[in-house]
Amino acid sequence: MVSSDRGKAIVATVLALGASSVVSGCKDPVQTRYEPSDAAKSRGLVAIEKTGCGSCHEIPGVEWPRGRLGPSLAGFDDVGLIAGKLPNRPGLLAAFIRNAPAIKPGSTMPPMPVTDAEAQDVASYLYGLDSD
Amino acid sequence: MIEAVWGWPPPVLDPAGPYSAQVTTLSWALFALGVFVTGVVVVALWVAIKGPPNWKANLGGERAIWIGGVAFPGVVLTALLIWGLTLTASLTEPIRGDEMRIRVTGEMWWFRVEYLDPDGAVMMVDANEIHIPVDTPVVLELESADVIHSFWVPHLSGKKDMIPGRRTLLRIEADRAGEFGGVCAEYCGGQHALMGFIAVVHEPAAWQSWLADRMDTLANAAEPVAQESQRYPGDADLYPTEAEYLERYDARRGYDLFMETGCAACHRIAGSEANGLAGPDLTHIASRRSLGAGILPNHRGTLIGWIGDSQSIKPGNRMPSYDRLSAEDLGHIAAFLELQK
Amino acid sequence: MKSETGFDHALYERFPTDKRPDSEVDALNEIWKAPTGWRRLTAVNNNYVGFWYVVTAFGFFLAAGILALGMRVQLAAPMQDFLGVDTYNQFFTMHGTVMMFLFAVPMVEAIGIMLLPQMLAARDLPFPRLSAFAFWAYFVGGTMFFMSLFVGLAPDGGWFMYPPLTSIAFSPDINTDFWLLGIGFIEISAIAGAIEIIVGVLRTRAPGMTLDKMPMFAWAMLVFAVMIVVAFPSVILCTMLLEIERAFNWPFFDATRGGDPMLWQHLFWFFGHPEVYIIFIPAAGLMSMMVSTVARTKLIGYRLNVLALVATGFISFGVWAHHMFTTDMPRVSAGYFSAASMAVSLPAGIQVFCWIATLASGTIKWTTPALFVVGSVVVFTMGGLTGVMVGMVPFDWQAHDTYFIVAHLHYVLIGGMVFPMFAAFYHWHGMTSSKALSERVGKWVFGLMFTGLHITFLPMHLTGLMGMPRRVYTYLPGRDLDLLNMISTIGAFVMAAGVLLFVIDCARRFRFTVHDDAGNLYNGGTLEWLPTGLYSTRSIPLVRSRDPLWDQPGLSQEVADGRYFLPNSATGQRETLITSPVMAEPQYVQLMPGPSAWPVSAAVFTAGFFLSLTVQAYPFAIFCGIVAVLSTLRWLWETDRPIKQETAEIGGGIEVPIAITGSSSHGWWALNTLMVVIGMIGFMGVFAYLYLYGINPEVWSAPPPLGQTVLILTMEGLAFVAAWGGRRLLATKEGRLAEDLPWMMEALAVGLLAGALYFDITGWLETGLAPTMNGMGATVFMLMVLQAQVVTVAIIMAAYLAFREARGIMTTPTNVTMDVVARFIGFCALQGLVFTAVTRFFPGG
């Protein structure tokens, strides 16, 4: 019923990533800031619209829907933590999108029906929403 | 966003059945005629204004009016009319009476779909989706519960209005399997724009098994909360492990919430005590392709979003936003609804 | 040539007469002088009222155009939130309603009021105060209606307002009532204008201007006005029905109680489709005149063109149900309406080729009007062709209610009405502006509008075939609609830039004047280009051809020298020459009322009355209603006075009577037209009754007892006799005072009618039928309501008649007021007879 091995693997990844971010400080140094490609960003927007992420989130560039159930995703690259808990990194965000409850136990956000590649693209899109 | 049911090529010119195919032929003929006559008029204007004097002289008299304004349109329009009337007659052949029947009722702003057995009794209720087998004529009984709506699947046939107090009949037939978009075409107030549905055409065998699944659900509908494992619908590759999620959200708790918070006042789930008739029947909600009348993909995320905040998604729709429910409770309800296939 | 009225055509040989003294011109100027300052608003002369009318209608065009831009921004991309769903629905409803009812119909009517008197060389239209009333009712009502948008209360049911969406159950707020209110005003002003125009065209043409020599625009306006008279009653009735259903719960359209939503569609489209031609026909008339001017030659196929106009008007009443092909019509009906829809494009084809042939027979001069005229032919043809497409039933099933239709109707209306209107602005603005508009800017205006039009609407055909329904505030992404919609939005702004350029040029150059106008900029050949003042032409010319100014080069000077009819004021009052309807032979001199504040007051308080009803301020509504009625009576009071002078010399030694009564009088014609309107409303009411019986016979119950029916019919018959008797009685009083008996006969007639109505209503109530009960109750009592309306008017009329008699201003042996009252009461009696008989004998017990 539950593929617990996989779950553990993810948790391990999270912990590793989390640890590294603690080591390197809360905010990434400028040179390592994530710079997604435009192609990835536009694929990400398509995936967002196809999946209907807007049902719960307000997302810049998505006119509809603009749900208010979940947090707004504007200015994502400036948010310190994913879901107020996890270090904010693209790889982690992609994993979170695919399976939020596994990464943050107790998350309201359900697993999303997207492939791994799509989740990466969505993360790219969200990080590409520069507010600066 | 529902994929693959709309878009290029124009559905009106991309027929998926005999009732639309004949109209497509007519359409192309009409467009050709339109372009031709526009050309004639433009050329005539050019001749009238800049043409050689002897051409102008020919055009500048009553004879030109009789030829261009009376004889030519008279002949063309008569021919067209004969074609149009013949085609109208063949498209409105009397209904035999032994066709499969589906009753579709337009409501503000969604479609109630009832599959009728040969005696005309309702055997299964669904919403915003019409499943038909390929190469089989189907008669739709179109009704309205409130204001005038209009039923339109351009791939399959022209539209027909759904009028309060009347029952209009529309015969459709598909000659290829696929999913085709449908909409309400008559302005029906507020959310007319987001009132859509999907016509799903199956191969005959697939349709039989689809129907069997549905009937099976109904036959075993006494206990709406299944006891066995709760699998997320869809492709395993799309969903990584759900361990945590499934541990946390409890379909039985969702069922209780469904009954307590008022969902059941408007929605019916066969076999349960939920008997509301105002909103769409949710007996098979988990196997539908869309939420909100053909506007959102149907998965746990959008389901939670819809229940919790449908007014942001489709402002003015008749379902209130259940934003007073906690995120956890929404999860429970979604977990329960996912089991209603 | 055989004379129509006994007028000797040899008398025409006396014209032109000798030059008349210039002092007569000063007298004319003095008599026709417009009030100044604030009192200018009380002016009734067509030069003022017509101009205000045009400007107001154009204002609504701009306003509705701005709404369209808002809509295009919202639709530029999928799922935007520029206008919310509620605002968008109000916008598109208002765009359609304002364009159809506050712009198109009033605009063509306004152009008619502005141009017709000059084109026919009449001093003014026959009922100037009625024109003023029509304008003010429209101005005040239209403005208030539009204002509802700013408080979020604008109607949102689409311009054809289908119930039950617009019934109280689904539209509980007063938005819909605002629509019904706004339309109410247009109904009033359109009917008033139509009566004015019918009588004006048929009775105030210059002598010698036989029907065959009338300018095409006059023909078009005649057809237009007749169509209004036949078509508008239908919408008057259906707006009444809907308002009564909303306010008092009478179930006309409620299928659960024996009503039927389709009743609305039949009534509305019986008006709604002719409405399109009501808009198009006058514009086609303008086109015909301008084509001839820009090609600098006579119109080819004048008679064919007239025939086409009349045929269009006629056939257009047989096509209404082609808006309802998707409602599951019987095959035979669909076939008939499809055939009629094809047939109506034949006259359009004739007109298009008339214009092409005229262009070919002349030599075009590329002025701005020429550009708009030629552009209009192309655009209108394209719209007509898509019209033929949707006239094909199977194609319509696909195209109906999609953007294909949006494209079609905009091509037709812009090509058929808006472009001709802009052409006409350029062509005729020299009549009212002291400076000419820029030709260079005009060409830009045309270029932007023409390209913008195609960029906007050509893609919409495809948008529709892609499955986008009309009237949607947004659309979902991923349906390949994004690019098409973006193109349309860009086009809309290009077109708007053209209109804006026109407005700027008007602001820079247009200067209103009635005296030193810029004149005949494009060398037209018809009478409106004679030298004019507020009194129109100095003398009324004798017309010998269709383009008198081209055919008689000296005519302008002769007219200005007073060498034709009525070179002065024969009575020292405002007056015009009334001629016979076919041959335009001089018949009599009509005295015309001058400026007055009363029509303005009547219009403002009529508006106040309806607005108060809408917002449910009933006491204030009653107050406004009373003031409106009193104002109307006060305005009428000054008319129809005894005059000493019985005949007047109208030039050339010809003597004609002044202000006659009976069947040759212009008042008789106007009253008959009005009775046709009211009769059509009644006819439509009877149709509604029979229609609902046909749909829901199961709710029909037995009528009251026969004895009672006979009593009611007898009373109505007696009322008819009494009304007629009063008039006969007056005729026996020749040379004496009228005394009381004639008016008392009328009062008796009215009393009988009121009594009959009372028995009719109570009789039905006693059978247990109630208006809220079912479709039968609603329609039966609706006929009573219609009867009650006319009886109320008859009571007021009888009282007014008595009052006039008491003040000693009732002329004998005949009197226009008496004629009007007696005939109207007679009409009420006949209508009562029909209503009683239909409801009580059909379908019978």
CB contact B312 to A (< 8 Å): yes
In the numeric block, the tokens 């939020």 are attached to A100
B33 and B109 share one domain: yes
C110 residue type, one letter? A
Phi and psi at residue C576, to the nearest 5°: -145, 170
From A103's Cα to the closest Cα of chain C, the distance in A is 32
Residue C560 domain-assigned (yes or no): no
Q: Looking at the domain assignment, is residue B233 inside a domain?
A: yes
| Most confident range, picked from B217-231, B238-252, B285-299 | B285-299
Contacts of C351 in chain B (CB under 8 A): 69
Instruction: Categorize the per-residue pLDDT at B235 as very low, low, confident or very high, splitting at 50, 70 and 90.
Output: low
pLDDT band at A132 (very low <50, low <70, confident <90, very high): very low
* pLDDT above 70: residue A32: no
CB C261 within 8 A of CB C164: yes
Domain-terminating residue out of C480, C509, C538:
C509
B84 touches chain C (CB under 8 A): yes
In a domain, C711, yes or no: yes
- B69:C350 CB<8 A: yes
Which of residues C509, C527, C551 is at a domain's end? C509
Q: What is the mean pLDDT of chain C?
A: 91
Residue C824: inside a domain: yes
The tokens describing B238, both together, are 């799309």
Domain that holds residue C219: 42-509
Chain C residues touching B37 at Cβ < 8 A: 381, 385
Count of domains observed in chain B: 2
Share of chain C above pLDDT 70, in %: 99
Could you say which residues from 14 to 73 on chain A have a Cβ atom under 8 Å away from some Cβ of chain B?
49-56, 64-70
> Is A8 at the interface with chain B, CB within 8 A?
no
Domain, as residue range, for B319: 220-337
* Cβ contact, residue pair A63, C78, below 8 Å: yes
Cβ within 8 Å, pair C164-B146:
yes
B234: left (phi over 0), alpha (psi -120 to 50) or beta: left
Looking at B230-239, B253-262, C710-719, which range is the least confident one?
B230-239
Average the pLDDT over C186-201 and give the result. Answer: 91
pLDDT of B2 reads 59
Residue C473 scores a pLDDT above 60? yes
In chain A, which residue's Cα lies nearest the Cα of C74? A63
Residue C216 has pLDDT above 50, yes or no: yes
Q: Which stretch of DSSP H or E encloses residue A93?
A: helix A90-98
Q: How far apart are CA B308 and CA C104, in angstroms?
A: 47
Q: How distant, in Å, are the alpha carbons of C189, C358, C789, C797 from that of C603?
A: 10, 44, 19, 19
Distances (CA, A) of C292 to A130, C300, C364, C425: 64, 8, 9, 16
Cβ contact A55–B302 (<8 Å)? yes
**Out of A2, A51, A111, whose CB is closest to B297?**
A51
Whole-number CA gyration radius for chain A: 14
Output the pLDDT for position B85. 93
B165 and B272 inside one domain: no
B244 and B140 within one domain:
no
What pLDDT score does A31 carry?
Answer: 42
Q: Which of residues C816 and C506 earns the better pLDDT score?
A: C506
Distance of CA B39 to the CA centre of its chain: 38
Q: Min CA distance, A80 vs chain B (Å)?
A: 23
Q: Given CB atoms, is B45 within the 8 Å cutoff of chain C? A: yes
Contact B301 A67 (CB under 8 A): no
Query: How far is C-alpha C74 from the chain's CA centre?
Result: 34
Contact A83/B at CB under 8 A: no
**Measured between CB atoms, which of B31, B70, B295 is closest to C350?**
B70
Averaged pLDDT, B194-218: 93
Percentage of chain C lying above the pLDDT 90 cut: 70
**Domain CATH number, residue C104:** 1.20.210.10
Establish if B11 belongs to a structural domain.
Answer: yes
- The answer to whether residue C659 sits within a structural domain is no
Which residue of chain C is at minimal alpha-carbon distance from A50? Answer: C478
pLDDT for residue B217 is more than 50: yes
Does residue C536 sit in helix, strand or coil? strand
Q: Which of B206, B238, B260 is the last residue of a domain?
A: B206
The answer as to whether B293 is a domain residue is yes
Tell me the β-bridge partners of B151: B160, B184
Q: Is B234 on the interface with A (CB under 8 A)?
A: yes
Instruction: Please give the ipTM for the structure prediction.
Output: 0.95
Last-in-domain residue among C467, C484, C509:
C509
pLDDT exceeds 60 at position B232: no
Q: Of the candidates B206, B238, B271, which is a domain's last residue? A: B206
Task: Determine what percent of chain B is predicted with pLDDT higher than 90.
Answer: 68
R_g of chain C, CA atoms, integer Å: 27
Look at B179-193, C412-426, C524-538, C709-723 and tell me which has the smallest mean pLDDT.
C524-538
The pLDDT of residue B226: 52
Residue C742 in domain: yes
C592 located within any domain: no
- Here the tokens at position B86 are 């013949």
CA distance C618 to C624: 10
Q: Is B286 on the interface with A (CB under 8 A)?
A: no
Q: Assess whether B195 and B224 both reside in one domain.
A: no
CA distance C466 to chain A (A): 20
Measure the CA–CA gap between C16 and C559, rounded to whole angstroms: 8
Assigned token pair, A32? 């390592």
Same domain? B243 vs B269: yes
Region B240-250 average pLDDT:
69
Residue B308 has a pLDDT of 92
CATH of the domain at B10: 2.60.40.420
C478 and A CB contact within 8 Å: yes
Q: Is residue C255 part of a domain?
A: yes
Residue C204 — pLDDT band, cuts 50, 70, 90? very high
B72 is a domain residue? no
Contact list in C for residue A63 (CB cut-off 8 A) is 77-81
- Chain B residues in contact with A13 by the CB 8 A cut-off are none
**Residue C397 sits at the chain B interface (C-beta within 8 Å):** yes
In-domain check, residue B69 = no
How many distinct structural domains can be found in chain C?
Answer: 2
Q: Strand pairing of B149-152 and B160-162?
A: antiparallel
Least confident of C89-98, C291-300, C732-741: C732-741
Give per-residue pLDDT as tens, C327-353: 988 888 899 999 999 999 999 999 999
Indicate the SS3 state at residue B308: helix
3-class SS letters over B242-308: CHHHHHHCCHHHHHHHHHHCCHHHHCECCCCCCECCCCCCCCCHHHCCEECCCCEECCHHHHHHHHH
Q: Are residues B274 and B301 in the same domain?
A: yes
Say yes or no: B240 and B177 in one domain: no
Q: Is residue C37 part of a domain?
A: no
Which domains does chain A show, CATH number per domain?
4-25+35-128 (2.60.40.420)
Interface of C with B in 728-757 (CB under 8 A): none
| Per-residue confidence (pLDDT) for residue B251, from 0 to 100 | 84
Asked, for residue B307, whether it belongs to a domain, the answer is yes
What is the CA angle C770-C775-C778, rounded to 5?
50
Q: Which chains touch A (3 or more CB pairs under 8 A)?
A: B, C
In angstroms, rounded to a whole number, what is the distance separating the alpha carbons of residues C555 and C541? Answer: 8
Burial status of residue C807 (CB atoms within 10 A of its CB: 0-12, 13-18, 19 or more): exposed
How far apart are the two ends of chain C, measured CA to CA in Å?
A: 59
What the block records as the tokens of C423 is: 């052409």
Confidence of residue C514 (pLDDT cuts 50, 70, 90): confident
Using CB atoms, which chains have 3+ pairs under 8 A with B? A, C
- Which region, left, alpha or beta, applies to residue C192 given φ > 0 means left and ψ of -120 to 50 means alpha? alpha
pTM: 0.93
B36 inside domain? yes
- pLDDT tens for each residue of B43-95: 999 999 999 999 999 898 899 999 999 999 999 999 999 999 999 999 988 88
* Crossing angle (nearest 10°) for helices C403-413 and C368-391: 140
Report the range out of A112-121, C143-152, C755-764 with the highest average pLDDT. Answer: C755-764
Q: What is chain C's percent helix, strand, coil content, to nearest 5?
A: 70, 5, 30
- When CB atoms are compared, the residue of B245, B247, B304 closest to A56 is B304
Most confident of B167-176, B218-227, C665-674: B167-176
pLDDT at B243: 63
How much is the average pLDDT of C287-306? 94
- 3-class DSSP state of C565: strand
Residue, of C153 and B149, whose pLDDT is higher: B149
pLDDT band at C180 (very low <50, low <70, confident <90, very high): confident
Report which DSSP code applies to A102.
Answer: H
Which pLDDT does position C738 carry in this prediction? 67
Q: State whether B12 and B102 are in the same domain.
A: yes
| Within a domain: B179 | yes
* Spatial distance between the Cα atoms of C199 and C218, rounded to a whole number of angstroms: 12
DSSP C41: G
pLDDT at C417 over 50: yes
Same-domain status, B174 and B243: no
By the CB < 8 Å criterion, does A113 face chain B? yes
DSSP alpha helix (H) spans, C160-316 = 175-203, 216-248, 261-294, 302-315
Q: What are C780-820's pLDDT values in tens digits?
A: 999 999 999 999 999 999 999 988 888 887 777 778 888 88
| Minimum-distance CB partner of C478 among A49, A65, A66 | A49
Q: Please give the pLDDT value at position B237.
A: 65
CA distance C153 to C453: 31
Mean pLDDT of B231-260: 73
Please state whether beta strands B129-133 and B196-202 pair in parallel, antiparallel, or not at all (unpaired).
parallel
**Sheet of strand B138-144, all strands in order from the earlier edge strand to the far edge:** B122-127, B110-116, B100-107, B138-144, B168-172
Q: Is C721 on the interface with B (CB under 8 A)?
A: no
pLDDT in tens, A54-69: 999 999 888 888 888 8
Domain's final residue, options B148, B183, B206? B206
pLDDT on residue C209: 95
